């Protein structure tokens, strides 16, 4: 596999294939204004996503519910941890209202982990999905949910709200889990996806590369996802969001991402979206369409 190994002096230099466009345009500023008006959070901003310019300019975004502070401290993630606020009861209505104002056919909703709440935030999740589907009956809804510490009943409760796609990210290979996201478990993630699949919900996951994983480990993760009937996988390059997060071990060449796409689909995944700037929510509508023809 092609990769650019890093030294202490080269780690700040991004390869040409990782350059993203700056936020601009009418749609970008319109979405910015709407999120401010309704006091909503987006993972695009909270997680320092490199695609915010292209996505928001195209009129798409990923809303993040249950606040902007996480109970976990994953080493790759730029979402703040620390003081937690009580979830706002108005949030589901505000999310539904904002999405009803957008002329889009597909929305992605995610959340921080809320291990401090007795239900992990599932009641807010369910209400949000139900209100969004009521306010936007023609729009497809993808939810990117936490693992709820492997509590199957919580995942089943969200499934009963009938999202069109349920996503949960493995993030990295099994051997790096305790290093990259020490408060999570690889088995919890697979159980989350398996639970949703058994409820006949289309499932999706994501992997970051460049943290020191080996090729055979990536392929094994793909096999594990196929075994729990996951249908869509995104594979992208890990980028260090701040000096407080894990450093990049290597930059993976676009040709290697193309190879992973071929391998994943040959193993049984219905669609693999792979590339340096690919993220779970990037062109999520296109991913779903190519995988299962969601708009047919």
Give the residue ranges of DSSP H helices in the chain.
26-37, 43-46, 52-57, 91-100, 122-135, 152-159, 177-180, 186-198, 215-227, 254-267, 284-292
Instruction: Evaluate if residue 160 carries a pLDDT over 80.
Output: yes
Tell me the whole-structure pTM to 2 decimals: 0.86
As a whole number of angstroms, the distance between CA 283 and CA 116 comes to 32
Please give the average per-residue pLDDT across 132-143, as a whole number: 94
User: Would you give the DSSP letter of residue 171?
Assistant: B
Burial of residue 63 (CB within 10 Å: 0-12, 13-18, 19+) is buried
How high does pLDDT run on average in the chain? Answer: 86
Residue 288: pLDDT band by 50, 70, 90 thresholds? confident
Residue 161 main-chain phi, psi, to 5 deg: -80, -5
- Residues whose CB falls within 8 Å of the CB of residue 90, separated by 6 or more in sequence, listed in order: none
Of residues 186 and 80, the one with the higher pLDDT is 186
C-alpha torsion angle, residues 167, 63, 87, 242 (rounded to 10): 90
- Gyration radius from the chain CA atoms: 18
Contact 230, 203 (CB under 8 A): yes
Angle at 16 between CA 15 and CA 19, to 5 degrees: 100
As a whole number of angstroms, the distance between CA 165 and CA 144 comes to 8
Burial of residue 69 (CB within 10 Å: 0-12, 13-18, 19+) is middle
Contact 236, 277 (CB under 8 A): yes
- The CATH number for 3-290, chosen from 3.20.20.70, 1.20.210.10, 2.60.40.420, 1.10.10.10, is 3.20.20.70
Please give the average per-residue pLDDT across 107-128, as a whole number: 95
Q: How high is the pLDDT of residue 257?
A: 98
Q: How high is the pLDDT of residue 41?
A: 64
């Amino acid at each position: 596999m092609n990769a650019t190994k890093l030294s202490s002096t080269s780690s700040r230099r991004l390869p040409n294939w990782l350059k993203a466009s700056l936020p601009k345009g009418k749609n970008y500023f319109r979405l910015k204004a709407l999120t401010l008006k309704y006091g909503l959070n987006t993972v695009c901003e909270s997680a320092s996503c490199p695609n915010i310019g292209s996505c928001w300019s195209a009129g798409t975004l990923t809303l993040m519910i249950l606040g902007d502070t996480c109970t976990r401290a994953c080493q790759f993630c730029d979402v703040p941890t620390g003081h937690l606020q009580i979830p706002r009861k108005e949030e589901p209505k505000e999310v539904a209202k904002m999405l009803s104002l957008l002329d889009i056919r597909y929305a992605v909703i995610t959340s921080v982990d809320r291990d401090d709440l007795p239900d992990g935030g599932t009641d807010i999740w369910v209400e949000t999905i139900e209100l969004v589907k009521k306010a936007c009956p023609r729009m497809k809804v993808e939810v990117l949910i936490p693992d709820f510490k492997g509590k199957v009943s919580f995942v089943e409760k969200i499934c009963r709200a009938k999202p069109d796609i349920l996503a949960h990210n493995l993030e990295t290979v099994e051997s790096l889990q305790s290093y990259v996201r020490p408060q999570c478990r690889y088995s919890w993630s697979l159980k989350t996806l398996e639970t949703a699949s058994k409820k006949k919900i289309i499932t999706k996951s994501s992997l970051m590369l460049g943290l020191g994983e080996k090729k055979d480990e990536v392929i094994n993760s793909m096999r594990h996802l196929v075994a729990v009937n996951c249908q869509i996988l995104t594979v992208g390059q890990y980028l260090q969001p701040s000096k407080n997060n894990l450093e990049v071990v290597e930059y993976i060449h676009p040709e290697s991402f193309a190879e992973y796409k071929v391998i994943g689909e040959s193993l049984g995944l219905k669609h693999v979206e792979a590339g340096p700037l690919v993220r779970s929510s990037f062109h999520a509508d296109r991913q779903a369409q190519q995988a299962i023809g969601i708009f047919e």
